[in-house]
Amino acid sequence: MTITKEAFGTTADGQAVDAYLLESGSIAVRVITYGATIVSIEAPDSDGNVDDLVCGFDTIEEYQSDANPYFGACCGRFANRIAEGKFSIDGEEYSLALNNGPNSLHGGLVGFDKKVWNAEIVGDAVKMSLVSPDGEEGYPGTLTVELTYSLSAENELRLEYAASTDKKTVLNLTNHSYFNLAGKGSVHDHYISINADRYTVVDDDSTPSGELRPVVGTEMDLLESKPIGENINAVQGLGYDHNYCINQKKAGELTLAAFVCDPESGRTMECWTTEPGVQFYTANYVENVKGKNGAYYAKHEAFCLETQHYPDSPNHPDFPPTELAPGETYTQTTIYTFGVV
C-alpha cells in the first residue's frame, strides 16, 4: 500500500487543492480535497488492460463548473432530496435552498461537494475532515465530519464516515461516483443485481410518497442479475434514479447492496454498506459533458450506487431515522470491491 500526495490546483477563491493517490493490489485510486472527491479508479480487465472506471475532470476549474453533476464527490449535509426544502426537529421548522425543482438536493447550493476538506495521511489511509458551522445551508448545529479512504490488497476501496454535532440536526452522507466498468460507452450491457425487495416510490419530481413498494414482478426488480438496459426504458423517468431498500438482517450491519459485471471486460464490482438504502442512478441527465483526457460523457454511460438513508427521511417517520443529537456519533462504512471473472 502506497499513498502519494501532489498539488491539484487552486479554487477560484484561492484555496489550494491536493490530490492523494492510493495504490494497492492491482488498483489505483485518486482522491482530491475538493469535495472529498474520487477523481479516478484504475483497474485491470480480465486480460490485464487497465482503464479508468469513473467519470471526472482533469482540472479543479472543471470540478467547480456548473457542468459538474457531483462526479465522485461526498454529498451532504443531506444527500438526495428533501421535499420543499423543509423539515422539522422537535417542532421547529428549518428551511433549505431549493436547487432541484421543488426539492433541496445533496446539501443545497454549497454542499460538502463544493468545500475544500482538510486531509492527512494516517497509516495506510487518507483522512479528510470538514467543519460545517451552525446554520450553514439552513441546517442546525455545528457539524464535524470525517471521511477516511483506504485501499486493501484485495482491491477493496473502503469509505468510512464519522460525524458529530453540538445541536440536534439531520445528516445523510454518500459518495456520488459515476462508474463504468468498461471505461467508456453505454452501461446498458452491464449486468446488475441489487439486494433489495422494495424501493422508495417517488413522484415525477423525485419526491417520495412514503410508500415502500415491492420490486418483484415489476420493471424495478433487480434481485436477479440482468442487463441495466433490459428495462431502463420502462422505469419511471429517463432511467433508474431510485432508492432501493437494502435487505439488511440488522440495522447498521455491513451488507452486500449490489453486484455489477461488465461481460466484455470481465470487470466486476461489489458494493457493501452499513446504510439502509442505495440510490441506483444511470446518469440520466448527463449530456455531452467534457471529461478527463478529452472524453465526452453522455446519458446512460455510467451508473451510481449512492449508499445512504432514504430520500426525504426527515419528513417520513416510518423511514430509518436521520437525526443526529449531541453526544451521538454518526458512522457509515461503504466498500467498493473490484475484480474480474
pLDDT (tens digit, 0 to 9) for every residue of the chain, 341 residues total? Answer: 899 999 999 999 999 999 999 999 899 999 999 999 999 999 999 999 999 999 999 999 999 999 999 999 999 999 999 999 999 999 999 999 999 999 999 999 999 999 999 999 999 999 999 999 999 999 999 999 999 999 999 999 999 999 999 999 999 999 999 999 999 999 999 999 999 999 999 999 999 999 999 999 999 999 999 999 999 999 999 999 999 999 999 999 999 999 999 999 999 999 999 999 999 999 999 999 999 999 999 999 999 999 999 999 999 999 999 999 999 999 999 999 999 99
Residue 309 bears catalytic tag: no
For residue 187, the model assigns a pLDDT of 98
For residue 323, the model assigns a pLDDT of 98
Could you identify the residue written with the cell 494516517? 122
Beta bridge mates, 304:
281
Q: Is the peptide bond before 267 cis (omega within 30 degrees of 0)?
A: no
Buried b (16+ CB within 10 A) or exposed e, 186-208: bbeebbbbbbbbbbbbbeeebbb
For residue 25, the model assigns a pLDDT of 87
For residue 154, the model assigns a pLDDT of 95
From the list 335, 290, 12, 324, the residue with the least C-alpha distance to 143 is 324
Q: State how far the Cα of 208 lies from the Cα of 80, in Å rounded to an integer.
A: 11
Cβ-Cβ contacts under 8 Å for 306 (sequence gap 6 or more): 75, 79, 80, 174, 175, 176, 278, 279, 281
Q: State how far the Cα of 222 lies from the Cα of 230, in Å rounded to an integer.
A: 10
Q: Which of 156, 270, 275, 306 is catalytic?
A: 306
Domains and CATH numbers, the chain: 2-187+272-340 (2.70.98.10)
Q: State how far the Cα of 260 lies from the Cα of 262, in Å rounded to an integer.
A: 7
DSSP for residue 104: E
pTM: 0.98
Q: Which of 136, 137, 146, 176 is catalytic?
A: 176
Q: State how far the Cα of 320 lies from the Cα of 152, in Å rounded to an integer.
A: 31
From the list 276, 259, 230, 285, the residue with the least C-alpha distance to 341 is 259
Residue 306 bears catalytic tag: yes
For residue 243, the model assigns a pLDDT of 98
